[in-house]
Structure 1
Amino acid sequence: EDGGIEYFNTIVVQPHLKLVTNQGRGFHVRCRYQTRDKVITNDQTRVAMLQSLPLQ
């Protein structure tokens, strides 16, 4: 398991709205998505905490 999910679909496109003819085109579509978490680090950026002020 590589931490992903795959979807396989077949899409048929016909040039006519109501008739199925041999002019249609078929497409096999494969979609792959990574679902596992990744840790990203950046040692170059410095972040400082903001000071809070009381509301008046």
Structure 2
Amino acid sequence: MYSTLPYVEARNDSRIFSERRSVREYEEQYGILRAQALTPRESLGLLEKMLGEL
């Protein structure tokens, strides 16, 4: 059994995935998103820049 179980919530549905293949797919997708995400400091800088352009 996995210690990580993806939980997906949508407008009229929510699910917890426990099938090995699904868990691996969601872990991979999450890893890609984390790799592409800005750091907290970079996020703050971007927000400050955007606010300055208003």
TM-score for the superposition, normalised by structure 1: 0.26
Which gives a bigger RCO, structure 1 or 2 (Cα 8 Å, sep 6+)? 1
More strand by share: 1
TM-score for the superposition, normalised by structure 2: 0.27
**Larger of the two Rg values belongs to structure:** 1
More helix by share: 2
